[in-house]
Chains A and B, each alone.
Chain A
Amino acid sequence: METLFSNLTLGFVTAWSTDNLLFCFVGALLGTLIGVLPGIGPLATVAMLLPITFNLPPEGALIMLAGIYYGAQYGGSTTAILLNVPGESSSVVTALDGHMMARQGRAGVALAIAAIGSFFAGCVATVGIAVVGPPLARVAQQFGAAEYFSLMVFGLIGAVVLASGSVIKAIAMIIIGLLLGLVGQDVTSGAARFTFGLPELADGIGFVAVAVGLFGMAEIMTNLERSAKAPEGHGTVMKVHSLMPSRQDMKDSSWPILRGTAIGSFLGILPGGGSVLASFSSYTIEKKVAKDPTRFGKGAIEGVAGPEAANNAAAQSSFIPLLTLGIPSNPVMALMIGAMTIQGITPGPQVMVKQPALFWGMIASMWIGNAMLVIINLPLVGIWVQLLKVPYRYLFPSILIFCSIGIYSLNNSPVDVLFTALFGLMGYLFVKLGFEAAPLLLGFILGPMMEENLRRALQISRGNLATFIERPISLGLLLAAVGLLVLVILPSVRRGREDVFQE
Chain B
Amino acid sequence: MIRLRNQQDFAAGLFLMAFALLARHFASDLSMGRLVRMGPGYLPTVLSWILFGLGVLIALRGFVTDGPKLESWAFRPVIAICAALIAFGLLLQHAGLVAAIVATTLISSLAARGTSQFAMLLLGLGLAAGSTALFVWGLGLPLNIWPELG
**Contact of A433 with B15 in the complex, beta carbons under 8 Å:** yes
Q: Is the CB of A455 closer than 8 A to any CB of chain B?
A: yes
Q: How large is the interface on A (under 10, 10 to 19, 20 to 34, 35 or more residues)?
A: 35 or more
**Contact of A178 with B88 in the complex, beta carbons under 8 Å:** no
The main secondary structure of chain B at its interface with chain A is: helix
**Contact of A428 with B108 in the complex, beta carbons under 8 Å:** no
State how many angstroms separate the Cβ of B104 from the closest Cβ of chain A. Answer: 6
Question: Could you say which of B16, B71, B101 contacts A172, with CB atoms under 8 Å apart?
Answer: B16
**Contact of B55 with A397 in the complex, beta carbons under 8 Å:** no
Q: How large is the interface on B (under 10, 10 to 19, 20 to 34, 35 or more residues)?
A: 35 or more
Contact A424 B85, CB 8 Å, known A228-B76, A433-B15: yes
Contact A221 B78, CB 8 Å, known A175-B47, A179-B47, A400-B85: yes
**Contact of A463 with B36 in the complex, beta carbons under 8 Å:** yes
Question: Could you say which of B35, B82, B124 contacts A465, with CB atoms under 8 Å apart?
Answer: B35
Q: Which residues of B contact A9 (CB under 8 A)?
A: none
Q: Mark A141-177, 1 if CB is under 8 A from B, else 0.
A: 0000000000000000000000000001101100110
Q: Is the CB of A289 closer than 8 A to any CB of chain B?
A: no
Closest B residue to A226 by beta carbon equals B74
**Contact of B54 with A175 in the complex, beta carbons under 8 Å:** yes
**Contact of A393 with B115 in the complex, beta carbons under 8 Å:** yes
CA distance A420 to B112 in the complex (A): 20
CA distance A428 to B105 in the complex (A): 21
**Contact of A458 with B35 in the complex, beta carbons under 8 Å:** yes
CA distance A55 to B119 in the complex (A): 33
**Contact of B86 with A421 in the complex, beta carbons under 8 Å:** yes
**Contact of B43 with A191 in the complex, beta carbons under 8 Å:** no
**Contact of A432 with B26 in the complex, beta carbons under 8 Å:** no
Q: Is the CB of B57 closer than 8 A to any CB of chain A?
A: yes
Q: Which residues of B contact A194 (CB under 8 A)?
A: 23, 26-27, 44
CA distance A178 to B20 in the complex (A): 12
Q: Mark A386-411, 1 if CB is under 8 A from B, else 0.
A: 00000011101110111011001100
**Contact of A186 with B40 in the complex, beta carbons under 8 Å:** yes
**Contact of B30 with A193 in the complex, beta carbons under 8 Å:** yes
Q: Which residues of A contact B8 (CB under 8 A)?
A: 432-434
Q: Is the CB of B99 closer than 8 A to any CB of chain A?
A: no
Q: Which residues of A contact B37 (CB under 8 A)?
A: 455, 459, 463
Q: Is the CB of A220 closer than 8 A to any CB of chain B?
A: yes
**Contact of A217 with B81 in the complex, beta carbons under 8 Å:** yes
State how many angstroms separate the Cβ of B93 from the closest Cβ of chain A. Answer: 6
- Chain B, 109-131, CB within 8 A of any chain A CB: 109, 111-113, 115, 119-120, 123-124, 127, 131
Question: Could you say which of B34, B48, B124 contacts A179, with CB atoms under 8 Å apart?
Answer: B48
CA distance A183 to B86 in the complex (A): 22
Question: Could you say which of A193, A421, A455, A465 contacts B85, with CB atoms under 8 Å apart?
Answer: A421
Closest A residue to B128 by beta carbon equals A401
- Chain B, 67-108, CB within 8 A of any chain A CB: 67-68, 70-71, 73-74, 76-78, 81-82, 84-86, 88-90, 92-93, 97, 101, 104-105, 108
Closest B residue to A185 by beta carbon equals B40
Q: Is the CB of A488 closer than 8 A to any CB of chain B?
A: no
**Contact of B77 with A224 in the complex, beta carbons under 8 Å:** yes
**Contact of B51 with A179 in the complex, beta carbons under 8 Å:** yes
**Contact of B84 with A425 in the complex, beta carbons under 8 Å:** no
**Contact of A451 with B43 in the complex, beta carbons under 8 Å:** yes
Contact A463 B34, CB 8 Å, known A186-B40, A412-B142: yes
Q: Which residues of A contact B113 (CB under 8 A)?
A: 228
CA distance A225 to B112 in the complex (A): 8
Q: Is the CB of A296 closer than 8 A to any CB of chain B?
A: no
Q: Is the CB of B50 closer than 8 A to any CB of chain A?
A: yes
Question: Could you say which of A189, A224, A414, A463 contacts B92, with CB atoms under 8 Å apart?
Answer: A414
Q: Is the CB of A16 closer than 8 A to any CB of chain B?
A: no
**Contact of A463 with B104 in the complex, beta carbons under 8 Å:** no
Q: Is the CB of A384 closer than 8 A to any CB of chain B?
A: no
**Contact of B81 with A221 in the complex, beta carbons under 8 Å:** yes
Q: Is the CB of A462 closer than 8 A to any CB of chain B?
A: yes
Closest B residue to A189 by beta carbon equals B40
State how many angstroms separate the Cβ of B51 from the closest Cβ of chain A. Answer: 5
Contact A417 B36, CB 8 Å, known A55-B139, A228-B77: no
Q: Which residues of B contact A172 (CB under 8 A)?
A: 12, 16, 51, 54-55, 58
State how many angstroms separate the Cβ of A192 from the closest Cβ of chain B. Answer: 9
Q: What are 26 A-B residue pairs whose CB atoms fall within 8 Å in the complex?
A: A172-B12, A172-B55, A175-B47, A178-B47, A182-B44, A189-B31, A191-B39, A194-B44, A221-B78, A224-B81, A224-B112, A228-B74, A228-B112, A400-B84, A401-B88, A401-B104, A404-B104, A409-B135, A412-B142, A414-B92, A418-B89, A424-B85, A432-B8, A432-B73, A451-B43, A465-B35
Residues of B within 8 A of A (CB): 8-9, 11-12, 15-16, 19, 23, 26-27, 30-31, 34-41, 43-44, 47-48, 50-51, 54-55, 57-58, 61, 67-68, 70-71, 73-74, 76-78, 81-82, 84-86, 88-90, 92-93, 97, 101, 104-105, 108-109, 111-113, 115, 119-120, 123-124, 127, 131, 135, 139, 141-143
Closest 9 CB pairs between A and B?
A463-B36, A417-B89, A224-B77, A225-B74, A186-B40, A421-B85, A463-B35, A414-B89, A191-B40
